[in-house]
Amino acid sequence: MPELPEVQTVVSELNRKLKNKKIKSVQVLTPKIISIGPNTVSNVRSVSPKQVQQFKKMLIGDTILSVRRRAKMLIFDFKGPLSMLVHLKMTGQFIYEDAKLRKKSGGKYRILNKPTAPFVKFPTKHTHVIFTFTDNSTLYFSDVRKFGYLKVLKDTEVDQVKELQTFGPEPLSKEFTFQGFKDKIGNRKSVSIKLFLMDPKVVTGIGNIYSDEILFHAKVRPDRKVSKLTNAELKEIFKYIPIVLKQAIKYKGSSVGDFVRTDGQWGSMGKHHWVYGRYKETCKSCGTDLKRVTLGGRTGTYCPNCQE
């Protein structure tokens, strides 16, 4: 599942590539991927042909001004009084193809992050929405698991979107302070620090990968109860949150699972993981065998020697 660095990578690339692109046509191959209005998107929703027509009508002829991010939500701002919110969820992907990339790639991309995965021609059977711009460049939205969505709404309705209201602070913003972070512990004293970091109400955009990495640097085991952490340990964790996330953004995210960049390339942060995805390997710092622990259905990997 993409976390903040992966979503930020996609947002930065789309913002650069889609600025001032005017939509010529929209193809909706899987109606259940789209949604209209501010209401929460249900996974079992049914979308009528009429709503598909409305979705297209709202977007065709409009021009994208910018693409930004709040938590893991992508927010496309249009010249008209419209916005489009996109959540990639588990396996959502955007590929943006212009004449240059089309020539280079032959229209084929590897959508899974395995060296053995085949290059497939786009659109694939997992491509659900295709935008074509007036300069004939194309944006494909694909999603193997189909939990992701594209929601179009009026600018004035964005504030009503519940998913945007419940998020905690952005970890790379000034609003994210040590005191605020500590206060979130409140009476949730028995929660483990890994699950605490992964709670979007505490801080947004941290999932399985970066919670493991942050805790390795802070030298704290993932299963420690938040109430048992010293102030010094909490400070170390807080300190490493932006350091680790910024490093991951620099390397364009971790290509694990289905994450690819908007040109089909992989992010290279995976090569720099200290613990995540390295169970059964040894600690890069001290050589001890890494261990893992299951917490609320999630698995944390850690070094039993470096982390206490």
Site residues (vs Zn ion, CB under 5 A): 283, 285-286, 288, 303, 305-306
Nearest residue relative to Zn ion (C-beta): 283
Catalytic pick from 72, 151, 278, 291? 72
Active site (annotated) includes residue 175: no
Catalytic pick from 3, 6, 13, 233? 3
Q: Which is nearer to Zn ion, 177 or 288 (CB)?
A: 288
Instruction: Read off the DSSP letter of residue 61.
Output: T
Active site (annotated) includes residue 233: no
Active site (annotated) includes residue 298: yes
Torsion sign across C-alpha atoms 281, 283, 287, 292: negative
Catalytic pick from 45, 102, 284, 298? 298
Angle between helices 208-218 and 231-250 (to 10 degrees): 130
Q: Which is nearer to Zn ion, 86 or 306 (CB)?
A: 306
Catalytic pick from 2, 123, 171, 222? 2
> In whole angstroms, how close is the CB of 303 to Zn ion at the nearest point?
3
**Distance, CA of 140 to CA of 27 (rounded, Å):** 10
SS3 49: helix
Q: Which is nearer to Zn ion, 4 or 275 (CB)?
A: 275
Active site (annotated) includes residue 5: no
> In whole angstroms, how close is the CB of 274 to Zn ion at the nearest point?
8
**Which residues neighbour 214 within 8 Å (Cβ) at sequence distance 6 or greater?**
197, 206, 237, 240, 241, 244
**Distance, CA of 234 to CA of 189 (rounded, Å):** 13
Q: Which is nearer to Zn ion, 33 or 303 (CB)?
A: 303
The encoded tokens of residue 1 equal: 């599942």
Instruction: Read off the DSSP letter of residue 37.
Output: S
Q: Which is nearer to Zn ion, 133 or 276 (CB)?
A: 276
| Amino acid in position 63 | T
> In whole angstroms, how close is the CB of 236 to Zn ion at the nearest point?
16
**Distance, CA of 278 to CA of 13 (rounded, Å):** 29
Task: Please name the residue that has the structure tokens 């620099």.
Answer: 250
> In whole angstroms, how close is the CB of 250 to Zn ion at the nearest point?
24
> In whole angstroms, how close is the CB of 135 to Zn ion at the nearest point?
51
- Quick count: other Cβ atoms within 10 Å of Cβ 15? 18
| Chain centroid, CA 241 distance in Å | 16
Residues annotated as catalytic (active site), given as ranges: 2-3, 72, 298
